[in-house]
């Protein structure tokens, strides 16, 4: 009978390239050990005022390209990429790690638990030009739980510290941690305080992204773990007060830029920034306000219309598909249209736009299989319903953009139109007390 060890070995062999052998791994590991980089000056990234959260099956390179058409400034994160996949994959590396140059500042989120492998994965990300790497200590899925990474790591702050130390020794770019406020019954304020203290002091981490709720590893699925445990923004603010030297990005339930995000960024809270996930997928057009409202960008008068965005994205999608075809790979239409499905969320017949785009994209013979024509034709179809929607520049044309601070003082709570949702509700209006 096959032993567990043999089983794992065989499984690994099936999943990875056959020529990736342990010698290569050892060589890479020893080269890492020879050259610790923690003593060298570290690259610095600007303040992460607003970031788009890492989301598996959402924030791939195409989604991030689309995000960059909406905001030039927000920090972008990859989906969580597994340490093994980063190290071992050969063919898949391009799809996983490549990105268009406009995506900076860009952060690669890594999932794993082996300090050496995490260090090596970080080094590969640095070579690919990522601006930072982030360690996932917040994912509660069965897969991460069984593989002992993600949120499970919050049980072992010492291990996280060893992981981040190894990563810091291997790269010159910043290393950060994304975590929750607790896991299972490790959910007292003192527990998360201990985690942050250990990982910052022993692990050398000075920037944390905190999803402001705990998670339950048994009993709740990932979706429920993003909605049921209550948000506790006050805990994150308290952590910031207890660790004033650390940079903290708050995450969870931020869906209203003017009513929620700007007030959270006030001087008193002293936070590094706010991160939003589901807002970006469900209401991407909202993000067209980010550069003006949060970064005080003076060029926002030239911001793109949704017609400009779709034309640009259609060209991009075609280029991506042609490139992959040239390499003998198949990049499905469905993957390329997914980022833009919700561009008209909450608007007249926004659902028709999405439905038609999905239908057109799934018909391989329509438009001679050209993804560009599929997108542009769907746009023309939608023009019949909502011509203004294609032309508006997010309804803003300002003479002098207000700074973030001016905006905070003149802002009033505002709710957006009720939209159709593609991924789970992002709980608009969630408050810490809920």
Ligand X SMILES: Cc1cc2nc3c(=O)[nH]c(=O)nc-3n(C[C@H](O)[C@H](O)[C@H](O)COP(=O)(O)O)c2cc1C
Binding site for ligand X (CB under 6 A): 53-56, 58, 79-80, 109, 136, 138-139, 178, 211, 226, 251-254, 276-279, 423-424, 426
Q: How far are the Cα atoms of 58, 227, 307, 418, 421 from residue 428, in angstroms, in the given order?
A: 19, 11, 27, 9, 12
Between 169 and 430, CB nearer to ligand X: 430
Burial, 384: exposed, middle or buried (Cβ in 10 Å; 0-12, 13-18, 19+)? Answer: exposed
Burial, 397: exposed, middle or buried (Cβ in 10 Å; 0-12, 13-18, 19+)? Answer: exposed
Minimum CB distance to ligand X, residue 133 (Å): 13
Minimum CB distance to ligand X, residue 141 (Å): 9
Minimum CB distance to ligand X, residue 362 (Å): 21
What residue is closest to ligand X based on CB?
A: 277
Between 140 and 401, CB nearer to ligand X: 140
Report the alpha-carbon distance of residue 139 to residue 305 in Å, rounded.
Answer: 35
Between 48 and 79, CB nearer to ligand X: 79
Minimum CB distance to ligand X, residue 75 (Å): 12
Between 10 and 221, CB nearer to ligand X: 221
Q: How far are the Cα atoms of 2, 14, 116, 305, 348 from residue 10, in angstroms, in the given order?
A: 10, 6, 22, 52, 53
Nearest to 237 by CA among 285, 270, 286: 270
Sign of CA dihedral 229, 234, 238, 244: positive
Which neighbouring-strand residues pair with 81? 110
Minimum CB distance to ligand X, residue 54 (Å): 4
Between 70 and 279, CB nearer to ligand X: 279
Between 55 and 124, CB nearer to ligand X: 55
Nearest to 118 by CA among 136, 95, 98: 136
Helices (H) and strands (E) in the chain, counts: 20, 8
139, 179, 215, 300: the catalytic one is: 139
Report the alpha-carbon distance of residue 310 to residue 378 in Å, rounded.
Answer: 10
Nearest to 258 by CA among 91, 102, 364, 413: 413
Determine contact, residues 183/152, Cβ cutoff 8 Å: yes
Determine contact, residues 182/191, Cβ cutoff 8 Å: yes
Active site residue 139: yes
Minimum CB distance to ligand X, residue 286 (Å): 12
List active site positions. 139
């Amino acid at each position: 009978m096959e032993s567990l060890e043999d089983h794992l070995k065989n499984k690994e062999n099936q999943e990875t390239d056959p020529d990736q052998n342990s010698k290569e791994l050892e060589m890479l590991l020893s080269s890492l050990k020879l050259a610790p980089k923690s003593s060298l000056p570290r690259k610095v990234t600007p303040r992460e005022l607003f970031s788009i959260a890492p989301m598996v099956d959402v924030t791939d390179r195409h989604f991030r390209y689309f995000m960059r058409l909406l905001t030039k400034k927000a920090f972008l994160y990859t989906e969580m990429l597994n340490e093994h996949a980063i190290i071992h994959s050969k063919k898949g590396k391009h799809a996983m790690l490549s990105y268009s140059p406009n995506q900076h500042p860009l952060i690669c989120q890594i999932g794993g638990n082996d300090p050496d492998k995490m260090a090596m994965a970080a080094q590969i990300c640095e070579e690919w030009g990522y601006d930072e790497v982030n360690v996932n200590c917040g994912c509660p899925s069965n897969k991460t739980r069984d593989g002992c990474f993600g949120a499970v790591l919050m049980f072992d702050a010492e291990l996280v510290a060893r992981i981040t130390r190894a990563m810091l020794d291997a790269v010159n770019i910043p290393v950060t941690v994304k975590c929750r406020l607790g896991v299972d019954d490790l959910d007292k304020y003192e527990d998360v305080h201990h985690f942050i203290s250990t990982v910052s002091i022993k692990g050398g981490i000075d920037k944390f992204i905190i999803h402001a709720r705990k998670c339950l590893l048994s009993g709740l699925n990932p979706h429920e773990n993003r909605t049921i445990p209550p948000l506790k923004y006050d805990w994150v603010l308290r952590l910031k007060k207890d660790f004033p030297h650390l940079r903290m990005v708050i995450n969870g339930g931020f869906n209203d830029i003017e009513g929620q995000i700007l007030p959270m960024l006030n001087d008193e809270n002293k936070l590094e920034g706010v991160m939003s996930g589901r807002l970006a997928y469900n209401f991407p057009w909202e993000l067209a306000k980010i550069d003006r409202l949060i970064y005080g960008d003076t060029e926002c008068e030239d911001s793109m219309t949704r017609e400009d965005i779709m034309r640009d994205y259609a060209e991009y999608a075609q280029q991506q598909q042609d490139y992959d075809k040239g390499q003998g790979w198949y990049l499905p239409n469905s993957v390329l249209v997914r980022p833009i499905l919700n561009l008209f969320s909450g608007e007249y017949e926004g659902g028709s736009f999405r439905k038609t785009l999905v239908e057109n994209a799934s018909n391989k013979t329509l438009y001679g299989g050209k993804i560009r024509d599929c997108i542009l034709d769907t746009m023309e179809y939608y023009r019949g319903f909502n011509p203004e929607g294609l032309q508006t520049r997010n309804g803003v044309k300002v003479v002098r953009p207000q700074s973030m601070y001016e905006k905070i003082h003149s802002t009033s709570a505002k709710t957006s139109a009720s939209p159709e949702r593609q991924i789970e509700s992002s709980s608009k209006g969630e408050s810490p007390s809920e």
